[in-house]
Amino acid sequence: MKKLLKIVGITLLCIVLILFAIFLIINFRGIPVYETQAVNHTVISTPKSVQRGKKLATMLCAGCHMSSETGKLTGKLMLDGPPEFGEIYSLNITQDKTYGIGNWTDGELIYLLRTGIRKNGAYAPPYMAKLPNMADEDVDAIVSFLRSDDPIVSADPTPDQESKPSFLTKFLCTVAFKPFPMPDQVIAMPDTTNKVELGKYLALNLDCFSCHSADFKTVDYLMPENSKGYFGGGNKLLNMEGDVMITPNLTPDNETGIGAWTEGQFVKAVRFGIVDGQEALRYPMMPYTQLTQKEAAAIFTYLQSIPPISNKVERSIIEQ
């Protein structure tokens, strides 16, 4: 009996030592670094592509990278970031060659946007939106805008503030969150005459599905429809005061979703933040004034086509 207890004790001690060693390795190594893949592609910019890129970057990038102090995309402390992920800072993505992306190639920028891997191999955790399914033309447009003479991306030498990821972030980036593969074939633009196809493209590539599905931990970014509670709401976001905001159900369920909404109601809510004369949106969801009437209506058409989910979410719930 004593021999058995000794064996069990030694076994448990070994397990504890192994787990402690894993903890130390992950904690001190930090977020994994990956080999980069050369992308030999030069973006050809036109006034139209720059305009398109600004529209997309305003909806996808500015919310995180826009600094109220500089009025440019110089990065900031993400007060609405999940606290369990640590202290999160977005980086300077102006054209400054020291602190921004002024010395990045077009291919390096595209590789980051697609995979989440920076030019030095560092992996950008899931709180940075990636674009694995966006059309090549639109990714090029974003790069065109970042290279443009628009004031918000002009060179600004504001130093980056490095994030302080928690052990949880380091652990998840080691075992679960991985870079996305670089697409190996052309991704075409959607058929803009097909409202469902256009709406799906916008709803997925503007990252609406990740917030409005059940939980970030179960979101499938490569196959969004496989995400748990796809557009059924219930995900927990933070406002700038740290209050928890629960995302609403956007499926066509008549009782708990937007099945009883009209197209006009949805368009006004998304574009102007108003529904039936009342405030419709609360931070972190902001009005997408950049969307056209046609685009917002297409998103509504797509959402009406997906399977309804019965999931009642009280509007503007704030957890104490």
Cβ(193)–Cβ(139) below 8 Å: no
State whether 51 and 127 are in the same domain.
Answer: yes
Q: What is the pTM of this model?
A: 0.90
CATH number, domain containing residue 151: 1.10.760
State whether 199 and 284 are in the same domain.
Answer: yes
Cβ(88)–Cβ(163) below 8 Å: yes
- Give the residue from 175, 208, 239 where a domain finishes: 175
Compute the distance between CA of residue 232 and CA of residue 311 in angstroms, rounded to an integer.
6
State whether 156 and 219 are in the same domain.
Answer: no
Q: Per-residue pLDDT tens for 101-148?
A: 999 999 999 999 999 999 999 999 888 889 999 999 999 999 999 999
Quote the pLDDT of residue 114: 97
User: Of 137, 264, 149, nearest to 188 (Cα)?
Assistant: 137
Compute the distance between CA of residue 184 and CA of residue 110 in angstroms, rounded to an integer.
13
Q: Per-residue pLDDT tens for 271-284?
A: 999 887 778 777 77
Cβ(107)–Cβ(41) below 8 Å: yes
User: In this structure, is residue 182 part of a structural domain?
Assistant: no
State whether 224 and 296 are in the same domain.
Answer: yes
Quote the pLDDT of residue 5: 67
**In the chain, how many domains are there?**
2
Quote the pLDDT of residue 14: 80
Task: Give the 3-state secondary structure of residue 112.
Answer: helix
State whether 250 and 286 are in the same domain.
Answer: yes
User: In this structure, is residue 128 part of a structural domain?
Assistant: yes
Quote the pLDDT of residue 319: 44
State whether 216 and 134 are in the same domain.
Answer: no
Classify burial at 20, counting beta carbons within 10 Å of its beta carbon; exposed 0-12, middle 13-18, buried 19 or more.
exposed
State whether 168 and 204 are in the same domain.
Answer: no
Domain that holds residue 62: 47-175
User: In this structure, is residue 255 part of a structural domain?
Assistant: yes
Q: Per-residue pLDDT tens for 34-61?
A: 999 889 999 999 999 999 999 999 999 9
- Give the residue from 175, 209, 233 where a domain finishes: 175
Sheet containing strand 244-246, strands side by side: 236-238, 244-246, 318-319
Quote the pLDDT of residue 10: 74
Quote the pLDDT of residue 316: 54
Compute the distance between CA of residue 52 and CA of residue 44 in angstroms, rounded to an integer.
13
* pLDDT by residue, tens only, the chain of 320 residues: 667 666 767 777 787 777 667 667 777 778 899 999 889 999 999 999 999 999 999 999 999 999 999 999 999 998 877 778 889 999 999 999 999 999 999 999 999 999 999 999 999 988 888 999 999 999 999 999 999 999 999 999 999 998 999 988 888 888 888 999 999 999 999 999 999 999 999 999 999 999 999 988 889 999 999 999 999 999 988 777 778 889 999 999 999 999 999 999 999 999 999 887 778 777 778 889 999 999 999 999 999 999 999 999 987 544 44
Quote the pLDDT of residue 317: 46
Backbone angles phi, psi at 115, to 5 degrees: -105, -30
Q: Is the dihedral of CA 153, 155, 159, 163 positive or negative?
A: positive
User: In this structure, is residue 225 part of a structural domain?
Assistant: yes
User: In this structure, is residue 169 part of a structural domain?
Assistant: yes
Q: What are the start-end ranges of the E strands in 77-179?
A: 86-87, 164-165
Query: Helices 293-303 and 263-272: crossing angle, nearest 10°?
Result: 120
User: In this structure, is residue 22 part of a structural domain?
Assistant: no
State whether 156 and 240 are in the same domain.
Answer: no
Compute the distance between CA of residue 118 and CA of residue 101 in angstroms, rounded to an integer.
11
State whether 127 and 215 are in the same domain.
Answer: no
State whether 213 and 124 are in the same domain.
Answer: no
User: In this structure, is residue 146 part of a structural domain?
Assistant: yes
Quote the pLDDT of residue 318: 46
